């Protein structure tokens, strides 16, 4: 029997996949141009990649990059707010936030169609791996997992490393998110690409598609592309429906605007047919807050 959509709400979603330079303004100008193009092509919701306004500076520990952080609200967030209002879109941007002297976050901001700031999410999981030295720069988020009501649906945002954690997706979905976006900056180490590259990329995509299935939500992941320092960012931005099906997918090499039509009515349909939220054993999950279950 085919699915019946009791609440059909069609939204056009765009993900911006682009390369970045070291200087901020050209990146901001490029992003604004891509936002305008996406809106012209019919996008209602546009999501930019992680830290779109600059290079991925976390490849080394260098204090000079703290000078590029901004408060929120601030100059770059205001530019995004103006773009959202000008084009009548919901816009998600990822910024290096200067919260207070010595306190910085990797932060995503959500703007509604009138340019109002409807939500802020601070990245919760902070990696510390070779060429991803984020703990040097970012304090873990303290706002929890959230979603935000906009004209075009209820939107949840996590950021990059958060995408590996099913707990983050679950808790975001439990706040009512119909779409979860993961602004991302992830790539290959050139010396590892031949042996491990396909597996690494497949794991990344599969993980987020599994979040879509387990939580009955749409998932969008815009990633950067191009070579920066020692990293080759793999692009591969994609949008998944609540069944884990790919609605659109970008390539690994080029800048792209990924555009897809989603019907938010599918969220209720999928959750009704696959009632994972109904069948959760919330009475049995208390140990999830422990680091590890040591058993004698």
Return the active site residues: 50, 123, 160
Q: Is 266 left (phi over 0), alpha (psi -120 to 50) or beta?
A: alpha
CB 158 within 8 A of CB 110: no
Pairing of strands 218-221, 179-181: parallel
Sheet with 45-47, edge to edge strand ranges:
117-122, 103-111, 90-100, 45-47, 10-17, 256-263
Residue with tokens 């279950």: 293
CA within 13 Å, CB half, 188 = 21
Q: Residue-wise over 46-67: b if at least 16 C-beta within 10 A, else e?
A: bbbbbbbbbbbbbeeeeeebee
Place of tokens 């546009």: 46
Neighbours of 293 (CB within 10 A): 7
Provide the 3-class DSSP secondary structure of residue 142.
Answer: coil
Strands 128-129 and 132-133, bridge-based pairing:
antiparallel
Going by C-alpha positions, the residue among 242, 177, 259, 163 that lies closest to residue 205 is: 163
Q: How far apart are CA 89 and CA 13, in angstroms?
A: 10
Residue 3 near residue 266, CB atoms below 8 Å: yes
Using DSSP's 3-state secondary structure scheme, residue 211 falls into: helix
């Amino acid at each position: 029997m085919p699915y019946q959509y009791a609440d059909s709400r069609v939204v056009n979603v765009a993900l911006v996949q682009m390369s970045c330079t070291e200087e901020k303004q050209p990146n901001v100008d490029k992003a604004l141009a891509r936002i305008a193009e996406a809106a012209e092509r019919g996008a209602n919701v546009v999501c930019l990649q992680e830290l779109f306004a600059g290079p991925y500076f976390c490849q080394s520990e260098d204090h000079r990059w703290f000078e590029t952080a901004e408060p929120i609200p601030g100059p770059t967030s205001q530019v995004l707010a103006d773009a959202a209002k000008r084009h009548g879109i919901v816009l998600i941007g990822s910024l290096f936030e200067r919260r207070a002297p010595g306190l910085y976050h990797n932060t995503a901001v959500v703007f509604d169609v009138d340019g109002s700031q409807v939500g802020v999410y601070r990245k919760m999981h902070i990696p510390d791996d070779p060429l991803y030295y984020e703990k040097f720069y970012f304090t873990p988020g303290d706002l929890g997992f959230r979603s935000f009501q906009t004209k075009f649906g209820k939107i949840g945002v996590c950021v990059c490393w958060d995408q590996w954690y099913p707990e983050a997706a679950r808790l975001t979905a439990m706040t009512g998110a119909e779409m979860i976006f993961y602004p991302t900056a992830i790539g290959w180490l050139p010396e590892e690409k031949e042996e491990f590259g396909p597996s690494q990329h497949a794991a990344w995509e599969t993980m987020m598609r599994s979040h879509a299935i387990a939580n009955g939500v749409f998932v969008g992941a815009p990633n950067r592309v191009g070579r920066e320092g020692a990293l080759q960012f793999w692009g591969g931005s994609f949008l998944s429906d609540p069944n884990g099906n790919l609605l659109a997918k970008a390539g690994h090499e080029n800048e792209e605007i990924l555009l897809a039509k989603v019907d938010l009515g599918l969220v209720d349909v999928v959750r009704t047919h696959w009632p994972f939220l109904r069948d959760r054993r919330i009475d049995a999950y208390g140990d999830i807050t422990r680091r590890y279950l040591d058993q004698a």
